[in-house]
Copies of this chain bind each other. A is one copy, B any other.
Amino acid sequence: MTRREPRSACPIATTLDMVGDRWTMVIMRDLICGKKRFSQFLASPERITTNVLTDRLAAMEEDGLVIRRSYQERPKRYEYVLTEKGEALLPVLQDICRWANRYMPDTWTPPDHFMRKRTGGGDASS
């Protein structure tokens, strides 16, 4: 498993040191619509390999972004779900989509229910 140490106390640099690698945010995208299994990630169009997927999921679990549930079945089954901390990154993903749809015309427009979705703890200030 591979994680990065924060380079500074800057919120942007620190966040990027956690989720700013080549795959973490793509995995989170797959998890927005709910739980997913190992083989379902592999089916995404970006074609992540088993090796990297294992590595990223383990790091994300340790960082508290996802939870891995195991079921006692035959053959064994696992499911990955976003934690609240992970879900709270949804606005970032939505902003990225808006930006891409404006400046990179060859990208899909995400489904409406994704762009309208709201995460639980908006801003608890005051």
* Cβ contact within 8 Å between B45 and A8: yes
Q: Which residue of B lies closest to A20 (CB)?
A: B20
Pick the contact of A85 from B16, B20, B92, B103 — CB < 8 Å? B103
Q: Which residue of B lies closest to A8 (CB)?
A: B45
What residues of B have a CB within 8 angstroms of the CB of A101 in the complex? 11
Given known contacts A11-B100, A46-B8, A22 and B29 CB-to-CB distance under 8 angstroms: no
What residues of B have a CB within 8 angstroms of the CB of A20 in the complex? 20-22, 25
What residues of B have a CB within 8 angstroms of the CB of A47 in the complex? 7
* Cβ contact within 8 Å between B104 and A99: no
Rounded to whole Å, the gap between the CB of A40 and the closest CB of chain B is 15
Q: Which residue of B lies closest to A104 (CB)?
A: B14
Contact residues of A between 4 and 18, Cβ < 8 Å to B: 6-16, 18
* Cβ contact within 8 Å between B13 and A26: yes
* Cβ contact within 8 Å between A16 and B22: yes
A–B complex contacts, Cβ < 8 Å, 13 sampled: A7-B46, A10-B26, A10-B29, A10-B45, A11-B97, A11-B104, A13-B46, A14-B106, A15-B99, A16-B25, A85-B103, A89-B99, A91-B95
